[in-house]
Chains A and B, each alone.
Chain A
Amino acid sequence: MIDQVIRELKHYDGRPVKIMEVCGTHTSSIFKNGIRTMISPKIQLISGPGCPVCVTSPAYIDKLTEYSLKENHCVLTFGDMMKVKGSRMTLTEARAAGGRVKILYSPLMAVAEAEQNREIRYIFAAVGFETTAPVYSLLLEEIRQKKLKNLKLLTSLKTIMPALSFLCKKEKSIDGFLSPGHVSVITGSGVYRELAARYRKPFVIAGFEGEHILAAIYEIMNQLKKQRFEVKNMYASAVTEEGNQKAASLIKEYFEAGDGFWRGIGTIEQSALRLKKEFSAYDAGSGEEEVEEDMPSGCKCTDVILGRINPTDCPLFKTVCTPFHPIGPCMVSQEGSCGIWYQNS
């Protein structure tokens, strides 16, 4: 069966088709499995805004670096935030300048850190999408239960559905979407139905194995051929129609929707998850910094995030913009389109 799928995708010779993989893990798996080498060049796979690091505003990074340099303060973060440039410096540079920044592997490690060093005020860089938000809720539960006063969250949390809606409205050239697997585990497959029907685009949810992605591309191509625009869940082992209700209610308990600033795109209505007012004691000032800012000169990350170009089409790619010296945010993360293309092409 998979051989037939590969054969048909390899020999496709119809009109050029543009499929967006929204999620960075899909982009990564496409490279790891060599999928671009297995399909017709007329099927263009483009990356979307599904890397939380790439779409985080420089002003948010500025706030983190400021905190790190304040006396008795320490910023806790995941590793991939370390190299993202704010308007002045990265967290790595802040640490070199004497700032206190600690890399964590799980949000829940923050509690142990804060318990052990009560005299330090910890700021947790809570960045991510629907997938990480429930873990931040669990972290908040722990903080409350342990009555910790020295650990707060600076959030830059986003939801992918408003961004997909924005893309459908603005970017007419996208023919179909490889829907994000991890996010769909939380949201469920039902959330894509309205967009699929309104904008006449196939939305196909896939897991991360090469076979899953190939089968999803095949499904999108078949739908386009038959002029059908449906939601198909090909990751049924993990994704249900309604999603993970427990995780969703955990998110709802602590967070509410607000307008969100996406680096490279701008403000997308109701696309942020903000801490509810009643939990403001655990908030280190989230959202205050999110005002639109210019992208670095010459950087085409906006066009990359919106699927207008591939990273290789940016004049800075592999010339002045590299993982060692990232100019735009897409080069920073292992999940960023430019970073993945640099590493794999």
Chain B
Amino acid sequence: MKIDMSYGSGGKQTGNLINEVFLKHFNNKTLNKLEDSAVLNIKGKIAYTTDSFVVTPLFFKGGNIGKLAVCGTVNDLSVMGAVPKFLTAGFIIEEGAELESIEQIAASMALAAKEAAIRIVAGDTKVVEGNGGIYINTSGIGEIRKEGISISNCRPKDAIILSGNLGEHHAAILSHRMGIENQIASDCAPLSFIVKNLLDENIRVHCMRDVTRGGLATVLNEAADQSSCRMEIWEETLPVSPQVRGFCDILGLDPLYMANEGKMIAVVPENQAQKALEAVWKSKYGKNARIIGTVLEGRGVTMKTRLQGSRTIDVLYGEGLPRIC
């Protein structure tokens, strides 16, 4: 069945959409009350974030917009040293969207939320004119477990840990858009376990950041800039799957600039690097983690190349699109 404007009227059909899709999948005591606001129990300092998701296609290998909308916000909370607790979800649905697709998306959101132990406690639905697109905004609250983790806290001699292979989300999305058949699946996943493992091991984490749009290069530049130091990474340690490597070679893309949805960096004191790496390895989403570089005095980001040359790594300019030749 297709969504029409009546689903956004606030009347019977809006009620049906909420009851038969969202409440069915997001079922929890706070949401089920359908009050104007969710009433929550929060202890101490909170982390609070919001993000909007507008991905095309809505469904891709390894996930869909719903899974992305939950994981994206969970990850933004997690890398601030917070335990994700509550999520709100706002849907903007274009008329013509399939009700079945919305149900699939809601089911994925419920599954991802369960895995990340976060509850979806409030939401909103609007229907607008259009051609069947779906957009989701999620906001999340987490309880701060460890304070002081910040993009401006990297220090010389820290080690940089990357939690896994680069470029998988971006390559999966582009493959779908270009109609290329391959086995590349999005890495879309919650990072809360990796963070929990690091904090459980009492690692003195200086900085964490999820590596999303703009890729690793952009995140490292932000960290170097905010912390007034230089990041040096080593090309031969960067984890990239052979499939993504091949895909990038053909299209002239660089995995350093490609978006990820289940990867993070952790910047930790050098003497805790090995212990931290082992903690990351304990999560199923951190099995390919590596120490990829070090923090030095100075400015900017450089890479020691496989051939032992030196390359400056700048931020991404514009979009990372396949080029003509």
Taking a contact as CB atoms closer than 8 A, the residue among A33, A34, A132, A214 that contacts B325 in the complex is: A132
* A335 within 8 Å of B (CB atoms): yes
Point out the residues of chain A lying under 8 angstroms from B325, CB to CB.
24-25, 52, 128-129, 131-132, 182, 335
A236 to B292, CA, bound (A): 34
* A320 within 8 Å of B (CB atoms): no
Question: What is the CB-to-nearest-CB distance from A28 to chain B, in angstroms, rounded to a whole number?
Answer: 8
A79 to B308, CA, bound (A): 33
Among the 9-residue stretches A101-109, A141-149, A256-264, A283-291, the one with 4 or more Cβ atoms under 8 Å from chain B is A101-109
Question: What is the CB-to-nearest-CB distance from A147 to chain B, in angstroms, rounded to a whole number?
Answer: 22
Point out the residues of chain B lying under 8 angstroms from A297, CB to CB.
none
Question: What is the CB-to-nearest-CB distance from B192 to chain A, in angstroms, rounded to a whole number?
Answer: 34
Cβ B324 vs Cβ A6 within 8 A? no
Instruction: Name the interface residues of B286-325: CB closer than 8 Å to any CB of A.
Output: 303-312, 314, 317-319, 321-325
Nearest CB to that of B307 among chain A residues? A210
Point out the residues of chain B lying under 8 angstroms from A6, CB to CB.
307-308
Cβ A105 vs Cβ B314 within 8 A? no
Point out the residues of chain A lying under 8 angstroms from B174, CB to CB.
105
Given the known inter-chain contacts A25-B252, A210-B305, A334-B252, please indicate yes or no for A78 contacting B322, CB distance below 8 A.
yes
* A35 within 8 Å of B (CB atoms): yes
Taking a contact as CB atoms closer than 8 A, the residue among B305, B310, B323 that contacts A78 in the complex is: B323
Cβ A344 vs Cβ B305 within 8 A? no
A173 to B99, CA, bound (A): 67
A266 to B312, CA, bound (A): 34
Cβ B252 vs Cβ A33 within 8 A? no
* B1 within 8 Å of A (CB atoms): no
* B179 within 8 Å of A (CB atoms): yes
Cβ A34 vs Cβ B321 within 8 A? no
Nearest CB to that of B254 among chain A residues? A32
Cβ B178 vs Cβ A32 within 8 A? no
Instruction: Name the interface residues of A298-345: CB closer than 8 Å to any CB of B.
Output: 323-324, 333-335, 339, 342-345
* B33 within 8 Å of A (CB atoms): no
Given the known inter-chain contacts A83-B318, A105-B178, please indicate yes or no for A34 contacting B323, CB distance below 8 A.
no
Given the known inter-chain contacts A105-B177, A109-B178, A335-B323, please indicate yes or no for A33 contacting B309, CB distance below 8 A.
yes
Point out the residues of chain A lying under 8 angstroms from B314, CB to CB.
342-344
Point out the residues of chain A lying under 8 angstroms from B179, CB to CB.
106, 109
Cβ B311 vs Cβ A80 within 8 A? no
A339 to B321, CA, bound (A): 14
Point out the residues of chain A lying under 8 angstroms from B324, CB to CB.
52-53, 78, 80-81, 127-128, 132, 335
Interface size class of A (residues with CB under 8 A): 35 or more
Instruction: Name the interface residues of A34-58: CB closer than 8 Å to any CB of B.
Output: 34-38, 52-53
Binary interface encoding of chain A residues 213-229 relative to chain B, with 1 for a CB under 8 A from any of its CBs, else 0: 01000000000000000
Interface size class of B (residues with CB under 8 A): 20 to 34
A83 to B249, CA, bound (A): 23
Question: What is the CB-to-nearest-CB distance from A128 to chain B, in angstroms, rounded to a whole number?
Answer: 5
A335 to B324, CA, bound (A): 9
Nearest CB to that of A107 among chain B residues? B324
**Of residues B178, B254, B323, which shows the largest number of chain A Cβ atoms within 10 Å of its Cβ?**
B323
Cβ B309 vs Cβ A210 within 8 A? yes
Point out the residues of chain A lying under 8 angstroms from B303, CB to CB.
34
Binary interface encoding of chain A residues 261-272 relative to chain B, with 1 for a CB under 8 A from any of its CBs, else 0: 000000000000
Instruction: Name the interface residues of B122-151: CB closer than 8 Å to any CB of A.
Output: none
Nearest CB to that of A130 among chain B residues? B325
Cβ A34 vs Cβ B311 within 8 A? yes
Cβ A37 vs Cβ B317 within 8 A? no
Question: What is the CB-to-nearest-CB distance from B213 to chain A, in angstroms, rounded to a whole number?
Answer: 16
Nearest CB to that of B308 among chain A residues? A38
A318 to B311, CA, bound (A): 18
Nearest CB to that of A25 among chain B residues? B252
Point out the residues of chain A lying under 8 angstroms from B252, CB to CB.
25, 28, 334-335
Cβ A211 vs Cβ B307 within 8 A? yes
A260 to B312, CA, bound (A): 36
A345 to B300, CA, bound (A): 11
Point out the residues of chain B lying under 8 angstroms from A103, CB to CB.
321
Point out the residues of chain B lying under 8 angstroms from A132, CB to CB.
324-325
Cβ B323 vs Cβ A37 within 8 A? no
Instruction: Name the interface residues of A61-120: CB closer than 8 Å to any CB of B.
Output: 78-81, 83, 103, 105-106, 109
Cβ A31 vs Cβ B311 within 8 A? yes
Point out the residues of chain A lying under 8 angstroms from B323, CB to CB.
78-80, 333-335
Cβ A323 vs Cβ B317 within 8 A? yes
Nearest CB to that of A343 among chain B residues? B314
A35 to B303, CA, bound (A): 12
**Of residues A35, A80, A83, A339, which shows the largest number of chain B Cβ atoms within 10 Å of its Cβ?**
A80
A-B contact pairs, 11 of them (CB 8 A): A33-B306, A33-B311, A34-B303, A34-B307, A34-B310, A35-B307, A38-B309, A52-B325, A80-B321, A105-B178, A128-B325
A37-B311, A38-B307 known, 20 other contacts, Cβ within 8 Å: A2-B307, A24-B325, A32-B305, A33-B306, A34-B305, A37-B309, A53-B324, A78-B324, A81-B324, A105-B174, A105-B178, A109-B178, A210-B306, A210-B307, A210-B309, A211-B307, A335-B324, A342-B314, A344-B311, A344-B314
